[in-house]
Amino acid sequence: MSAPTTKEEWLGCLLLPEYVEAIPLGLIRPIVGSVRWVDGGGSWLTQKEYIAKWGIDPEPAWSAVKEYRKQHGGGVRVLD
């Protein structure tokens, strides 16, 4: 398969498997309002909404993500 060249081909590459979308990407603690969890698809959800949508509690999953980042450098590495 050749590399994508059109916008439509690139957008097709952005579709994530459902199990990746279920992984929490972040936690937002606003000054006012309820805590929001960001899922792999970019949706902002309360803890109850997250559990209803994905069937998992994002809090222990987020702890695992943070531990993985701590063990493996914490971010994207740029290779020269």
Judge contact between 36 and 56, C-beta under 8 A.
no
| 33-56 residues labelled b (16+ CB within 10 A) or e (exposed) | eeebbbbbeeeebeeeebeebbee
**Tens place of pLDDT per residue across the chain (80 aa):** 677 788 877 777 777 778 888 999 899 999 999 999 999 888 999 999 999 999 999 999 999 888 888 887 755 555 55
pLDDT at 38: 94
Q: Which helix (H) or strand (E) holds 27?
A: strand 26-28
What gap in Å lies between CA 37 and CA 49, rounded to an integer?
9
User: Would you kindly state where each structural domain of the chain is located, as residue ranges?
Assistant: 17-71
Residue 13 Cα to chain centre, angstroms: 16
